[in-house]
């Protein structure tokens, strides 16, 4: 498990750098399902899996059970590290797939880049039987892995909804009912009361954008409105009303003195949690484990809910990030690789085991039938954390188009946010300028 889950997006630049190299060299052969690879036999072969830290350990733990069903498939799981894995995948794909693992763990922000820049780099899982599981996952995720309908580029694993972790004791001391916060305007009003009565900030943001993850909060606000940096046609929407509204909320918070500065990225965030600087941590599902590990002595002082809506009556559910398992197009054991992916991701018992050991929230809805997702959390004041996020996964949720230019867009977004936070810039002006600059770099059309 990498500390920021999405890493620092270094591979976005790596993918862009090799864009001129074109796709993988196509090869033909018996049973070929993608560039250079072959289907092989589902129950036989030697496969390698690339992942990182927590997820890699979780998959290693499943290998003995997998081998009871498939004794003739030898599985080697390698912890490549995050973000190192993105550069390693990119380099191997640029080299025609030489040295690439059979199974690849890929974040939602990188998947479109690999698909667009390296045609044939990933096997089409529909030819291996993936479409049978189309309705098994949280809303919006199938379109993410199969944006063009029939072709399936990967299978969903981890699904993280936007969350609202809060210091229950701070809200109580300020006399604020956290459950009454229907919108972020309500949250701003509550933040003013909290600041006046307790001295705590409402939340923190890495104002100078020392890490790309500085835009996480902005992106969540945008996704709560069903918006993103690109629409499904790949057109740029950074200057949309939804984007302007999201950045305006951030400006209003900052102007009111409710935003602490987390300059320095992850280390600053952890330090802030230990010091109790802010009352709210607007982070996804997986972040609950980080809070527990960081301040275990504060058990019972924390709570969790879904974030307020951006506008009255709006949704409080947003799928803010996810990860997936794919099969390399260059693999000569694609069927065996698929058998492992299917065992890990479509078998509820596998996902429950992973959740218990690594805290990874599954995209597989059937996994949530297990009691572990419905148990009260002592740390979060007796709340049923699993049920809260399950409600978000079950809500209608659009698929977001990260495109191959997500890393470029993110850089413009963080620059715009820094101008707003440190220089008081106008949100609409800086976002429209960012959209125009992104269009110049990418050739994409801007939609206001």
Segment 341-374, tens digit of pLDDT: 999 999 999 999 999 998 999 999 999 999 999 9
Does residue 10 surpass a pLDDT of 50?
Answer: no
Element (H, E) at 325: strand 319-327
Segment 105-133, tens digit of pLDDT: 999 999 999 999 999 999 999 999 999 99
- Which residues make Cβ contacts (< 8 Å) with residue 155, sequence separation at least 6? 125, 130, 133, 145, 324, 325, 326, 341, 342, 345, 346
What are the tokens at 311?
A: 């506008």
pLDDT > 90 in the chain, percent = 87
CA distance 143 to 180: 34
- Which residues make Cβ contacts (< 8 Å) with residue 380, sequence separation at least 6? 288, 302, 303, 304
pLDDT for 285? 96
**Between 35 and 304, residue with greater pLDDT:** 304
pLDDT for 35? 53
What are the tokens at 75?
A: 């599985």
Lowest-pLDDT choice from 18-27, 89-98, 220-229, 336-345: 18-27
Residue with tokens 């909060």: 217
Does residue 8 surpass a pLDDT of 50?
Answer: no
Q: Give the predicted TM-score (pTM) of the model.
A: 0.91
**Between 388 and 16, residue with greater pLDDT:** 388
pLDDT for 216? 96
pLDDT for 157? 98
Q: 43: pLDDT confidence band, cut at 50, 70 and 90? A: confident
């Amino acid at each position: 498990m990498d500390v920021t889950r999405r890493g620092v997006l270094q591979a976005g630049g790596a993918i862009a750098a090799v864009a001129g190299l074109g796709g993988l060299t196509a090869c033909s052969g018996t049973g070929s399902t993608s560039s250079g690879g072959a289907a092989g036999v589902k129950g036989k072969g030697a496969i390698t899996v690339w992942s990182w830290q927590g997820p890699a350990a979780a998959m290693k733990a499943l290998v003995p059970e997998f081998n009871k069903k498939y004794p003739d498939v030898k599985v080697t799981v390698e912890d490549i590290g995050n973000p190192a894995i993105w550069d390693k995948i990119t380099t191997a794909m640029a080299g025609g797939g030489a040295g690439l693992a059979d199974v690849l763990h890929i974040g939602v922000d990188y998947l479109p880049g690999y698909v667009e820049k390296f045609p044939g780099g990933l096997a089409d899982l529909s030819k291996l039987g993936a479409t049978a599981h189309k309705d098994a996952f949280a809303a919006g995720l199938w379109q993410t892995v199969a944006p063009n309908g029939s072709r399936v580029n990967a299978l969903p694993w981890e699904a993280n909804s936007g969350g609202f972790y809060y210091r229950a004791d701070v809200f109580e001391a300020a006399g604020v009912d956290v459950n009454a916060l229907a919108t972020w305007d309500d949250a701003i009003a509550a933040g003013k009361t909290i600041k006046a009565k307790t001295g705590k900030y409402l939340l923190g943001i890495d104002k100078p954008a020392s890490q790309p993850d500085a835009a996480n909060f902005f992106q969540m606000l945008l996704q709560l409105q069903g918006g993103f940096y690109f629409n499904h046609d790949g057109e740029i929407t950074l200057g949309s009303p939804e984007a302007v509204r999201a950045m305006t909320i951030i400006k209003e918070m900052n102007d009111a003195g409710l935003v602490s500065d987390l300059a320095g990225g992850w280390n600053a965030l952890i330090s802030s949690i230990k010091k109790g600087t802010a009352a709210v941590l607007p982070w996804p599902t997986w972040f609950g484990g980080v809070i527990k590990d960081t301040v275990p002595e504060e058990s019972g002082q924390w709570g969790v809910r879904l974030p307020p809506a951006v506008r009255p009556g709006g949704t409080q559910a947003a799928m803010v990030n996810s990860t997936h398992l794919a099969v390399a197009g260059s693999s000569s054991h694609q069927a065996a690789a698929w058998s492992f992916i299917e065992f890990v991701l479509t078998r509820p018992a596998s996902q429950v085991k992973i959740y218990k050991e690594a805290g990874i929230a599954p995209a597989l809805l059937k996994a949530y039938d297990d009691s572990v997702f419905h148990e009260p959390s002592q740390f979060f004041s007796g709340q049923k954390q699993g049920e809260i996020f399950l409600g978000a996964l079950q809500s209608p949720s659009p698929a977001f188009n990260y495109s191959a230019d997500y890393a470029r867009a993110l850089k413009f977004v963080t620059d715009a946010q820094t101008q707003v936070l440190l220089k008081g810039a106008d949100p609409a002006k800086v976002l429209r300028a960012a959209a125009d600059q992104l269009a110049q770099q990418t050739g994409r059309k801007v939609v206001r």
